[in-house]
Amino acid sequence: MTGMRTQPTTVAQALLSKRFLLTSWPWRALAYLVTTPILVAFASVPLGFLAIPWLVAVHVSGQGNVPAIAIWFLIGAIMLAAGGPLVAAPLGWVERRRLALVDSRPLPKKAWRADPWQWLRNLYTDPATWRECAYAALFVTVIPLAYGSVWLLIGVEAILLFCPFLVGAGEGPIAFGLGQLTSAGQALPYALLGLILLPLVPYAWSVLAALHAIVARALLQGADTDQLRAELVEVSRSRARLVDAFEAERRRIERDLHDGAQQRLLGLTMQLGLAKLDTAPDSPAGKAVADAHDQAKELMQQLRELIRGIHPPVLTDRGLPAAVAELADRTAVPVSVDAALPGRLPAHLEGAAYFVISEALTNVVKHSGATRAEVFLRLNNNVVEIDIVDNGHGGADPRGGSGLTGLADRVAVADGKMYLSSPVGGPTLVRVEIPCLPAAQ
């Protein structure tokens, strides 16, 4: 649908709206600003206590006692490193929830551990904790200065608006700028100026809240390390399940073609062969049957090649080196195979390695212009190393649609890595590394 407007999710986005002052965002930003000094006061007390050794270091610096300065500075650093996370973690917990006032986007929240000892151990090893410490340091130093400038602006605006009432109430002359206001008439232009500038005040505090929210999100958005680790494990497991399911489906298709379509086509070929024997070779019917028999045999050969491409039986029966050797014999360019594997590999890794080599040799035939190729298979430190080298013209580029992107994707599914060296003029080297453990013999 066209013409639809998305609702702003942050005060920074809302500031760009023409109807900003008519929305709730200015008041949400004001609530965010008003509650900030309370938290600053609570956080400043423990952090100030931890920083006392640094204050002592500053005091003794006037005496020129360098060793004492270094000792007090080191003590302060140790105290802040030990106690800072204990202050920053609760502050971060509160700030992640308070941020919803000015930023409605979901933010990962660190969970408190049921086991306090586990929570304490994770506290000092989680990178998110030290980002919280950085935020706490800004929270009690830089943020009060920034807030002070906005509160000063609001105070000046209040004086502009109410100075006629202050002068008229008999409070006496009011010093304003370089002069004094002695009557309500003199103060009236300042009140008018304050009235004109009044709509800008919500923009000022909203801009400050938006900047504060940007800093807070940048430092506090890190998700819990355990949560990320669990998600990564689940992604790895789901990818492994997809690979297994894909391999099982490939084998099912190969079995159905072999036991179903191939057997029926074989029966048809035999019947055509018998019919060919029963008809005169020179008759029109005999020629038609002979042509049909030849086409059936050709189709049979193509079907066998298709089945072998889906999952070669030799890969299951004799392993990866034998399957690669058979593949090399069928490749249009001469291919030499040097395989040094100590034994059978896990079935899914043998399948992944085989099809990587198959696709790489297909690329050699289609795109390289090579007259020969070599395949090297090694197992080093539980990593299958595959090198495919050809003497073609080189210049292979994954962005050129040569199949290298799909090859890299297939390698990534097996949790492997692919490297390419293909200077113009050749030779081209495709190196694939797939981690694995040898299967039990």
Q: What average pLDDT does the segment 31-37 reach?
A: 92
CA-CA-CA-CA torsion sign (165, 166, 168, 174): negative
Compute the distance between CA of residue 284 and CA of residue 272 in angstroms, rounded to an integer. Answer: 15
* Beta pairing class for 179-181 and 335-340: unpaired
**pLDDT at residue 4, as a whole number:** 44
395: left (phi over 0), alpha (psi -120 to 50) or beta: left
> For residue 293, is it within any domain?
yes
Q: How many domains does the chain have?
A: 3
Are 56 and 116 members of one domain? yes
Matching residue, tokens 């049957």: 289
Q: How far apart are CA 287 and CA 296, in angstroms?
A: 14
326 and 266 in a single domain? The answer is no
Highest mean pLDDT among 36-50, 117-131, 227-241: 36-50
44 inside domain: yes
- Would you call 380 helix, strand, or coil by DSSP? strand
Chain-centroid distance, C-alpha 299: 47
Give the max Cα distance, the chain. Answer: 132
Contacts 24+ apart (CB under 8 A), 361-366: 361/327, 361/328, 361/331, 361/335, 361/388, 362/403, 363/396, 363/402, 363/403, 363/404, 363/407, 364/331, 364/333, 364/388, 364/390, 364/392, 364/428, 365/331, 365/332, 365/333, 366/402, 366/403
- Which structural domain, as residue segments, surrounds residue 169? 11-220
35 falls in which pLDDT band (50, 70, 90)? very high
Q: How much is the pLDDT for 394?
A: 81
**Residues 42, 47, 51, CA angle at the centre, nearest 5°?**
150
Query: pTM (2 decimals)?
Result: 0.50
With b for 16 or more beta-carbon neighbours within 10 A and e for fewer, the 371-398 pattern comes to eebbbbbebeeeebebbbbbbbbbebee
Statement to judge: residues 37 and 101 lie in one domain: yes
- Asked if the bond preceding 427 is cis, omega within 30° of 0, the reply is yes
Last residue of a domain, one of 205, 220, 235: 220
Q: Is the pLDDT of residue 32 over 90?
A: yes
Q: 378-407, pLDDT tens digit by residue?
A: 888 888 888 988 888 888 777 665 567 777
Length of the chain: 441
pLDDT of residue 309: 57
**What value does the mean pLDDT take over residues 340-354?**
80
Q: Please, which pLDDT band fits residue 440 given cuts at 50, 70 and 90?
A: very low
Does 24 reside within a domain?
A: yes
> What's the pLDDT tens digit per position in 80-106?
888 888 888 888 888 988 998 998 887
DSSP 113: P
Burial of residue 283 (CB within 10 Å: 0-12, 13-18, 19+) is: exposed
Residue 429: CATH number of its domain: 3.30.565.10
What is the mean pLDDT of the segment spanning 211-238? 70
- Residue 439 banded pLDDT, cuts 50, 70, 90: very low
Instruction: With respect to residue 30, please indicate whether it lies within any of the assigned structural domains.
Output: yes
Token pair recorded at residue 181: 């206001």
Whether residue 178 is found in the same domain as residue 160? yes
Flag whether 15 is in a domain: yes
Confidence label for 5 from pLDDT (cuts 50, 70 and 90): low
Which of 220, 249, 264 finishes a domain? 220
**Quick one: pLDDT at residue 3?**
42
Domain-terminating residue out of 166, 195, 220 = 220
Question: In whole numbers, what is the pLDDT of the chain averaged over residues?
Answer: 78
- The answer on 341 and 266 residing in a single domain is no
Residues 155 and 203 in one domain: yes
Model pLDDT, residue 36: 92
Terminal Cα-to-Cα distance of the chain (whole angstroms): 62
Q: What is the pLDDT of residues 9-23, one digit of tens each?
A: 888 888 888 888 888
- Whether residues 327 and 379 fall in one domain: yes
Q: Are residues 92 and 131 in the same domain?
A: yes
Q: Are residues 305 and 318 in the same domain?
A: no
Residues 63 and 206 in one domain: yes
